[in-house]
A and B are shown apart, each in its own frame.
Chain A
Amino acid sequence: MAHFAKISEENIVLSVMVVDNKDTLNADGVEDESVGQQYLETHCNWPAHLWIKTSWSTFENTHINGGTPFRGNYAGVGNTWDSDNQIFWKTKPYPSWVKNNTTATWNSPIGDAPALTAEEIAAQKHYAWNEANQSWDLTNINT
């Protein structure tokens, strides 16, 4: 099965459609994205160039079965298609966060949260992003 994301003209993922592999084969019997796009244009009334193939087994630019990742992340409704970097981006969690094209994730402008110490884990602490202060704040899990 092949998965194609239906995107708006503003590159927002509207839905994801599953297509039988046979409907994506070209005349030589090779899987070809453009064949699947044309198939979807015909049957789903949406332009071919606004159907983008996506891989359900790709998450944060890693293939869950050890294969080759494809386009950063499996497309989800509301995600954004970035044709320059060929990545489906999840929703930006905070306005200040920046793209990491290598991992297809959003990173804080000061990097990842510090690692928790054993004492902090035992005390059920975690780091939460503070957008106003642009810092990682150590807080209780339940707060």
Chain B
Amino acid sequence: MKKLLIYLKDYKKESVLGPLFKLLEASFELFIPLVVASMIDKGIPAGDKGYIWQMCLVMAALGLIGLVCAVTAQYFAAKAAVGFATKLRHGLFAHIQSLSFSQMDKEGTSTLITRMTSDINQVQSGVNLVLRLFLRSPFIVFGAMIMAFTVDVKAALVFVVVIPVLSVIVFGIMLISIPLFKKVQGGLDRVLGITRENLTGVRVIRAFGEEEGEIRKFDQETDALKHMQMVAARISALMNPLTYVVINAGLVALIYVGALRVEAGILSQGQVVALVNYMSQILVELIKLANLIITVTKAVACGNRIQSVFEIPAGMESPEYGSAKEITQTGTVEFDHVCLRYHKGGEQALTDIHFKAHRGETIGVIGGTGSGKSSLVHLIPRFYDVEKGSVKVDGQDVREIPLEVLRGKIGIVMQKAVLFQGTIRENLLWGNENATDEELWEALRTAQAEEFVLQKEKGLDEKIEQEGRNLSGGQKQRLSIARALVKKPEILIMDDSASALDYATDAALRKSIKSMPGKTTVFIVSQRASSLLHADQIIVLDDGEAAGMGTHDELLAGCQVYQEIYYSQFEKKQESGAK
């Protein structure tokens, strides 16, 4: 949480002035018992109505000044808190954007989204409350004590006993109950988990007739949750009664000591009333403080969750611009004995991959599930860093090319076609902001998407809903291919991105990509051997290792893994030997 406070630094003025005005308001409040006391001691015995009027006017004036101070304080506090949250949100968003693929994989997007939204909101209200109230309550508590000292030192000693006892109770209960509340939150998470699981898996659960078992499991979880809630509640239920006892015991003691002091002629009756009033002020503040502490602990917990995101070091280091050397071999991709491991201690995802792709070549990558096909092509735009060896693009190690430059050369179409809310045009422009309509249509034509876009009522300006819900899987894939083509990349990577297309469209797509002007180096990852037949080079992966490399004919003759894949898909034509 602490490190987040740097986002407050632009609001130094507000974060100081807010509490300051709040303190001002509180101090005016502290004068009230004194005013009442002098009314009782001076005005009433003398029957001086004028004096009483005067004192009441003073009280009303104090109230009014208090109001002005409070409003000012609220304004500054709100401004600082909202500004803080805005800056924090900006900072966090930018930071998350800088995270690398492997870090995103590890964190998971859904938690990051919660941090960005509800956690930051919690922190915002926490900061707001702290600025407004957190100083006020202790100030009134101690202020009341100090004021009591100005009335009478000996009687004020009661406060000196009461306040530490109170703090022990308040903070003690808090310290015990915070971990308990955390446990409650955990229990709630499990209830949430099982509910969601039952919704997503409803078909499987019903297919196995497991409804009753699931209800039993849910009952157990809610029982556990209730139990945790009760334990936590039992502890915090002590807070009010205990503080009440302590404060009022203090009150009794105060009256007793006060009576003794009055007898000794040191205190007046009005002063005793003032002391009693200070004691009740403390009571009121403490109740507020206790409620506040709960909100603040929640905010701190959320703040810590946010901070833990900030503590993930920003992605990968990108070399400075200008450090890029002169390019000699445009469009080449070279893997030099590359090994990749996603987690330390985990299995190697790629082992000793070594090949070179020349400009304009088509490279096919084929292999089983989990054999490392995606991993291999993800290394080219440096989504991940290699463990050993090096990946070279344009003859240069990717780690020596600024990320933006590197990724600018490469158009990649991911396995899962992702489109964004907005028009088709806006989505395509991601590839190149300055592309003309002419260029967009050309890309659509190549991606076999021209026809269906033309059929749309508004053509390029047709709206795409969130996650492309109003498009079919094949349409989304073709649009995401077109988006990559708009970029006119030197290197085009298609990561199994034609899986939702029927075979005829797939074939047409490959043909049109092949005939694109300019010499683009193309990587095609596929499970269909038919998609790769005509590649200049096919890399056959098996469990992260290259089981074979070469043209279709070479592999069919000499690579067992490739033969297995190929014949599994072309059983019928085995004898005739398809070419």
Q: Do A and B form a real pair?
A: no
Q: What is the interface of chain B, defined by CB distance below 8 A to chain A? A: none
Q: What is the interface of chain A, defined by CB distance below 8 A to chain B? A: none
